[in-house]
Amino acid sequence: MSTKKQIREEASQIEAEEAKGEQGVRIFYLLVCLLLFACLIIASRSAWFLATHASNAKDISTPLESYEPWPESIVENFSNIRVQNGGRIKPAHTFARFALIQVNNSSKARFETQDGEKHKISAEEWMLDVLFRPDLAKDLPFFNVDDTEAIVAIGVPPKYGDSHRKRDRYSYNQIAAKRAELAGESGRITQKRREDPDYQMSRLEGITDRLATNVSFFEYMNGQFGFARKGEGLASDQVLPQDLKLAAQGMDIVGLLDVMPEMTVQQLMQEMGREAATENEKAIQKAFQLFFFFARSGQNLTLIPPPDAAEDQWYGVGDLLMEGLEDKSKRAWVKEELKVVTDIVDSQKAMWTALAELPEDASNDDREAIVKPVAAKFETLVDTQKKEAEERLLAKRDAIDVEIAAADDSLEKQRLQESRAELKMEGAKVEQEVGLYTSSYFMNSLSYFILGFILLAVSWLVPGSKFAKIFGWLAIGVIVLALGYNLLGITMRSIIRSRPPITNLYDTIIFITGVVVLLALMLEYFTRRGIGTIIASLSGVLGMFLSLRYEVKEAVDTMDPLQAVLDTNLWLATHVTTINIGYAAGMLASFLGIAYLLYRFLRPLPVVLKGLTGNGASANTRIFDEPKNVRDNHKLIGKMTYGIVCFCLIFSIIGTVLGGIWANYSWGRFWGWDPKENGALMICLWTLVILHMRMGGYIKDIGMAVFSIILGMIVTFSWWGVNNLGVGLHSYGFTDGVMKALFITWAESILIMACGFPLWLHGRSKDKLKKEKRERKRRDNEVGGDIPPLPGEV
Amino acid sequence: MAILKGIYKFFSSFLFAAIILILLTIVTLFGTLAQKEMGLHGGVKEFFHSYGYSVFDASPFGIPIKFPLPGGMTLMFLLFISMTLGGVVHVKKRVRGIPNLIIHCGMLFLLVSGYITHNMKRDGYVALYPGTSTNRAQSYKDWQIEVFELGENDEAKQATVIPWENLRPIGDEGSQVFTSKAWPFSVQVENFYRNARPIPTSAPISAEATGPEINGFKLLRRETDKEVAANFPGCFAKIIPADGSDAAAELILSGTSDRISPDDAAMLAGFEFEGKKWGIQLVKRSWEIAFNIELEKFIFEKHPGTTKAKNFESRIIWREDLEDEGKKVAVRMNDPMRQSGFVVFQESYGPPNPGPGEQMYSQFAVSDDPADYFPLIALIIITIGLVAHFVWRLAEYISKSSAKRRAA
């Protein structure tokens, strides 16, 4: 039988050991916290770098003395011009936006003129400069070069003379002298890729290749209306030799159509290559060469619909020149169309001259008098395009009606009727599209999510006060507004395309963000503890930021038409939407798991820090001991996680099976073990693992949290990772650098999951303690008297 | 009895279900990663359709990893057992448990339908130029050797077939003798390469071929392609007289073609035996479908100014009897034809980059799956169960928490 003395000695021995152990736990704990904060700093630093890199080029100076911005009315009218690009009719606004993102890595161009003024111009203004102020555009620094070494390799002097600076922007004139070297380097890379289709470009090769493509694109755009400029604003000597430039002075390229014989492009090229004996022959040859040069340059901006309504391919000015060359009967039409463009080019030039000559004290009315007729020309062009689109639609309908009447085959008749029903006016939603981009729904959404989070953070300064309550409500209001912008943007995109919300990878980002925020707000509605609001604001910031980054990184129109295989609104609306709701729930479950672990793990940090300075609680108080309200809070997060995992299961299973049914319906196989299918299957399997383990009592709240974070890792693998495997039907949307970002995310997830381990140990030791307490009580009853509490016992 | 009870308890436990589900997740993950190196089909065969165990041996993230994994099929069988015992037999029979029971029944039905499809479905393709017709579908990957006597005008008589199941195990270095009542000889098949080309000895590349030269040709072994349909096998065949004496003929058999197209033609090898002419060829396995398909017209449209396919559509006429006038049907992407248990899908077209004026062919996938509609039925069952189960639980939770709030 134990004596009181023995029990006391036993208790103090345990206390001493626990205290010793506890000290070690605290040091280890602080180290882990340090690691977590280091991760947080790295993540924030990367986010800050990504968010600000668009403007982080140090030297954005241009030799231009000053910069006169484009009048608003001209920019506005130019934005609405219809252009055929990427298989659809889109506003010039969209075309310019993605072109600038591709070249400049940002949808705005920034530069500093010699008068010390800093300018930030939109993509449309940049495009107007490239098209109508070609010489000025050549001095604007908008060619993004991710690594100075790439520019040094082709012989361009680096800015600051420092070849190790990472990112900078160069102007065309800075690169033009080494144009041939750039083309040579790019040619070598192309050759390597041609010889070995699996060849992986090095980072520098990638940068050089992209720069070469961008410079070439600029030259095409720069020369787009060159035919109408009578030899002004032409590209570098390496693109168009000096003697040809001289020959182009004052030459009427369109007028050549009056004297040139009808010939094919091949015949024209033969003529160009023929030996010229006399001066006259040489002059003719130069004229041919210039004609060919301008015809080749003017093919990117396809803004002229074909005269025949049955044709779908629109014309660029260069295509028109070629068309006129090959077919004499079309020359009158070609000249008429080109006259409109020439007129616009001339009026722009005249406008800038007139504006430059205006006295400094000229009134706005004076300026307006000069600008208005020029803006009207764009307006007329837009009106003409609209009118032509209406006429083309009517003509197409009439043509199909004739075909339907003539069809003797019911199948053909049915197909024609379907085609007729599908006929839409070209560019019918151009104005809405311009509205979508100028309203910056997604940028606004991001800003409001950030504001919402800041308001929340402010409310934490004085927890429990009236002030905190007001700011908490304000935060919810702002987050709802941010969500509203997100949903409005998604709806607008759906309306513009006449499609369900998701048709490509970009859509999944904005959609999943919207669903995560919506679900988090719903959780907040049911629980009212502020947890849903924090997750809503943070996931909103993360998702919207990702969507903007994705747009810049991919630099392609996110509303391009679909491949034939995806052209089915029924399946896009059902399978794709459902599975993405499943993804969203999986991500939310993972965020809740992270919130659970970090909340419990970081909560004692202030106490431990105080302990270091000697002001904290005694060393024998265990750091993970929690008061009741904290226990209630994390139990609630555990419940929320469970609910969301169930939600995830419903949508993932239904979405996955629907995908199989689509595949069976469309390609005759329900399941093909395609990586994307496997990704969805893994989400289903893992949610089932979580639910079965919880039901069996093998995991409790900590396990739920850890397993939910793994679910998040699986979702990111399925959402992003499998696209990079390059296998199967779903290997679309290849994005560079995604794997690196995924690895970082997974590593951070693992670190957070590791925080669950000490919590689990703590839980176990508490259970042990409870058992010991029961045992002690039993002995106490046998011995009687006061016995000191065990360490950690509250 | 106690042991049986213990086994039953274990197989119906949550722990067993969780272990199987975790293993399935792991196999799915690594099977998917392996597909990057092994190709889609290779990965499926190795990891998902395997019964014993498979070895993951790849460098998914640039790091070589090698370890064994249980076979996907075995795991799915165990999952079936777990679901049957744990989700259907062992559950408490009460009203609250009905949705859960429905979910498990739906999942079991889905697994069964998957098993039926796996074993009984036939997948093949038909490639046709406009104006041509066929009533046979070909396999993408299975080949067979056909041996037949030739008539006076070199017309083939009834063929005897050496099926894929017997050819595949021969392998690169193996050899196998086949006999048939229909032949007065036996056929020895040697070196069955999964991907090979016959090369004339005059071509410099023929120096790389290791086998014997036959009739001015050598057989050049090529790397097995990850995409299973891109492999065209080749082998050597010796015609051995019944008395076992020296080979009467030695031949190279090859699948030859470079692509799936109607231009595919078997390379027929002929030989004489005891005064009679015989033919032997290595061809894709093919089977009759319930009707004849004629391609009337192939429509191919791209999005203007791009290479992106907007629509490809085949107008076909199908006839149960060649004498029939036939019925016209349009087969498009996402719009197949279902007829007499067969489904004809618009799969592809060729040649991939047709020149101006070049005639294009249309390729259809043809499948007959007895479990065609089962997944849809399973989905309906599962959805009913899932929605009932979770809506019920959510309603319970909400009413409980609002009662608590009221009480507070």
Q: How far is A628 from chain B (nearest CA, A)?
A: 16
Q: What does the CA dihedral A40, A46, A51, A54 come to, rounded to 10 degrees?
A: 170
Tell me whether residues A725 and B309 touch, CB distance under 8 A.
Answer: no
Q: Tell me, what's the pLDDT at A322? A: 93
Check if A669 contacts B (Cβ < 8 Å).
yes
CA A23 centroid distance within chain:
48
* pLDDT tens digits for range A452-509: 999 999 998 888 888 899 999 999 999 999 999 999 999 999 999 999 999 999 999 9
Check if A691 contacts B (Cβ < 8 Å).
no
Q: Tell me, what's the pLDDT at A392? A: 94
Report chain B residues whose CB lies below 8 A from the CB of A563. Answer: 308-309
User: Does A269 have pLDDT greater than 80?
Assistant: yes
Q: Tell me, what's the pLDDT at A310? A: 86
Residue of A nearest to B46 (CA): A673
Neighbours of B112 (CB within 10 A): 14
DSSP state of B147: E
Which of B16, B19, B22, B25 best tests the A interface by mutation, with the highest count of A CBs <10 A? B25
Does an H or E element contain B285, and which? Answer: strand B276-302
Of the pLDDT bands very low, low, confident and very high (cuts 50, 70, 90), residue B378 is very high
Tell me whether residues B40 and A658 touch, CB distance under 8 A.
Answer: no
Of the candidates B32, B304, B366, the beta carbon closest to that of A678 is on: B32
d(CA A346, CA A356): 16
A550 within some domain = no
More confident residue, A397 or B211: A397
Report chain A residues whose CB lies below 8 A from the CB of B372. Answer: 664
Based on its alpha-carbon atoms, the radius of gyration of chain A, rounded to whole angstroms, reads 34
Check if B343 contacts A (Cβ < 8 Å).
yes
Query: Which of helix, strand or coil describes residue B246?
Result: coil
Residue of A nearest to B366 (CA): A668
User: Does B187 have pLDDT greater than 90?
Assistant: yes
Q: Of how many residues is chain B composed?
A: 408
Where in the sequence is the domain holding A15, given as residue range(s)?
4-55
Neighbours of A551 (CB within 10 A): 19
Residue of B nearest to A717 (CA): B29
Question: Residues 159-218, chain B: which have Cβ within 8 Å of A?
Answer: none
User: Does A87 have pLDDT greater than 70?
Assistant: yes
Q: How far is A740 from chain B (nearest CA, A)?
A: 10
Tell me whether residues A692 and B367 touch, CB distance under 8 A.
Answer: no
Check if B156 contacts A (Cβ < 8 Å).
no
Tell me whether residues A657 and B375 touch, CB distance under 8 A.
Answer: yes
Q: Tell me, what's the pLDDT at A458? A: 92
**Which phi and psi angles does B258 have, rounded to 5°?**
-100, -10
A593 within some domain = yes
* pLDDT tens digits for range A299-335: 889 999 998 888 889 999 999 999 999 999 999 999 9
A461 within some domain = no
Of the pLDDT bands very low, low, confident and very high (cuts 50, 70, 90), residue B300 is confident
Amino acid symbol at B148? F
Half-sphere exposure of residue A149, counting CA atoms within 13 Å on the CB side? 9
Query: Which of helix, strand or coil describes residue B121?
Result: coil
Report chain A residues whose CB lies below 8 A from the CB of B303. Answer: 86-88, 561
Q: Output the CA angle B103-B106-B109, nearest 5 degrees.
A: 150
User: Does B404 have pLDDT greater than 50?
Assistant: yes
Q: How far is B368 from chain A (nearest CA, A)?
A: 9
Check if B117 contacts A (Cβ < 8 Å).
yes
Report chain B residues whose CB lies below 8 A from the CB of A669. Answer: 123, 367
**Which phi and psi angles does B266 have, rounded to 5°?**
-70, 145
CB B155 within 8 A of CB B139: no
Whole-number percent of chain A with pLDDT over 70: 91
Neighbours of A488 (CB within 10 A): 16
Q: What does the CA dihedral A180, A183, A185, A186 come to, rounded to 10 degrees?
A: 170
Q: Tell me, what's the pLDDT at A617? A: 47
Q: Tell me, what's the pLDDT at A790? A: 53
Tell me whether residues B305 and A650 touch, CB distance under 8 A.
Answer: no
Question: Residues 276-315, chain B: which have Cβ within 8 Å of A?
Answer: 302-306, 308-313, 315
Of the pLDDT bands very low, low, confident and very high (cuts 50, 70, 90), residue A734 is very low
Q: Tell me, what's the pLDDT at A604? A: 87
Of the candidates B306, B315, B334, the beta carbon closest to that of A87 is on: B306
More confident residue, A593 or A159: A593
Of the candidates A666, A673, A685, the beta carbon closest to that of B333 is on: A666
Tell me whether residues B304 and A87 touch, CB distance under 8 A.
Answer: yes
Residue of B nearest to A301 (CA): B305
A791 within some domain = no
d(CA A443, CA A338): 39
Beta bridge partners of B365: B125, B345
| Residue at token pair 């929690």 | A626
Residue ranges with strand state E in B16-90: 53-58, 65-70
Considering only CA atoms, which of B108, B34, B24 is closest in space to residue B64? B34
* pLDDT tens digits for range B85-128: 999 998 888 888 899 999 999 999 999 999 999 999 888 999 99
CB A606 within 8 A of CB A614: no
CB B253 within 8 A of CB B190: no
Question: Residues 620-649, chain A: which have Cβ within 8 Å of B?
Answer: 639, 643, 646-647, 649
Check if A794 contacts B (Cβ < 8 Å).
no
d(CA A279, CA A287): 12
| Inter-axis angle of helices A279-297 and A317-326, nearest 10 | 130
d(CA B306, CA B314): 21
d(CA A229, CA A251): 9
Of the pLDDT bands very low, low, confident and very high (cuts 50, 70, 90), residue B37 is confident
Cβ burial of A508 (10 Å; 0-12, 13-18, 19+) is: buried
A216 within some domain = no
Amino acid symbol at B67? F
Check if B393 contacts A (Cβ < 8 Å).
yes
Neighbours of A48 (CB within 10 A): 10
User: Does A437 have pLDDT greater than 80?
Assistant: yes
Tell me whether residues A661 and B375 touch, CB distance under 8 A.
Answer: yes
* pLDDT tens digits for range B304-342: 888 888 888 899 999 988 888 888 888 988 889 988 889
| Residue at token pair 């104006």 | B131
**Which phi and psi angles does B108 have, rounded to 5°?**
-60, -40
Check if B42 contacts A (Cβ < 8 Å).
no
Residue of A nearest to B368 (CA): A668
Q: Tell me, what's the pLDDT at A701? A: 92
User: Does A559 have pLDDT greater than 50?
Assistant: yes
**Which phi and psi angles does A182 have, rounded to 5°?**
-65, -45
Of the candidates A409, A653, A722, the beta carbon closest to that of B382 is on: A653
Residue of B nearest to A525 (CA): B398
User: Does A58 have pLDDT greater than 80?
Assistant: no
User: Does A704 have pLDDT greater than 80?
Assistant: yes
CB B138 within 8 A of CB B285: yes
No. of H helices and E strands in chain A?
30, 6
d(CA A503, CA A377): 37
Residue of B nearest to A311 (CA): B304
Tell me whether residues A661 and B379 touch, CB distance under 8 A.
Answer: yes
Tell me whether residues B18 and A693 touch, CB distance under 8 A.
Answer: yes
Query: Which token pair is A570?
Result: 């029924």
Query: Which token pair is A213?
Result: 């493509």
Check if B59 contacts A (Cβ < 8 Å).
no
Q: What is the mean pLDDT of residues B131-139?
A: 91
* pLDDT tens digits for range A335-375: 999 999 999 999 999 999 999 998 888 888 999 999 999 99
Check if B120 contacts A (Cβ < 8 Å).
no
More confident residue, B289 or A779: B289
Q: Tell me, what's the pLDDT at B65? A: 87
User: Does A792 have pLDDT greater than 60?
Assistant: no
Of the pLDDT bands very low, low, confident and very high (cuts 50, 70, 90), residue A59 is confident
A27 within some domain = yes
| Residue at token pair 């600051």 | A160
- ipTM attached to this prediction: 0.86
| Inter-axis angle of helices A317-326 and A331-357, nearest 10 | 140
Query: Which token pair is A768?
Result: 């042990």
Q: What is the mean pLDDT of residues A238-257?
A: 85
Check if B44 contacts A (Cβ < 8 Å).
yes
Q: Mean pLDDT highest for which of A237-246, B68-77, B335-344? A: B68-77
CA distances from B261 to A91, A680, B150, B397 (A): 42, 34, 26, 60
- DSSP string for A62-119: -S-S---PPPHHHHHHHHT-EEEETTEEEEHHHHHHHHHHHHHSSSEEEEE-TTS-EE
Report chain A residues whose CB lies below 8 A from the CB of B18. Answer: 689, 692-693, 696, 698
CB A486 within 8 A of CB A440: no
Tell me whether residues B29 and A650 touch, CB distance under 8 A.
Answer: no
CA B255 centroid distance within chain:
18
Report chain B residues whose CB lies below 8 A from the CB of A85. Answer: 305
A669 within some domain = yes
Q: Tell me, what's the pLDDT at A15? A: 59
Whole-number percent of chain B with pLDDT over 90: 42
Long-range contacts of A184-193 (CB under 8 A, 24+ apart): A185/A153, A185/A154, A185/A212, A186/A212, A186/A213
Domain count across chain A:
2
Beta bridge partners of B335: B332
Of the pLDDT bands very low, low, confident and very high (cuts 50, 70, 90), residue A564 is confident
A574 within some domain = yes
Question: Residues 413-432, chain A: which have Cβ within 8 Å of B?
Answer: 414-415
Tell me whether residues B36 and A726 touch, CB distance under 8 A.
Answer: yes
* pLDDT tens digits for range A604-656: 888 888 777 665 444 445 778 788 888 888 999 999 999 999 999 999 999 99
Tell me whether residues B21 and A685 touch, CB distance under 8 A.
Answer: yes
Q: What is the mean pLDDT of residues A240-254?
A: 85
Q: Tell me, what's the pLDDT at A148? A: 84
Q: Tell me, what's the pLDDT at A583? A: 97
CA A19 centroid distance within chain:
52
Tell me whether residues B390 and A653 touch, CB distance under 8 A.
Answer: no
Q: Tell me, what's the pLDDT at B264? A: 60
Check if A672 contacts B (Cβ < 8 Å).
yes
Of the pLDDT bands very low, low, confident and very high (cuts 50, 70, 90), residue A161 is low
Amino acid symbol at B289? I
Report chain A residues whose CB lies below 8 A from the CB of B90. Answer: none
Check if B367 contacts A (Cβ < 8 Å).
yes
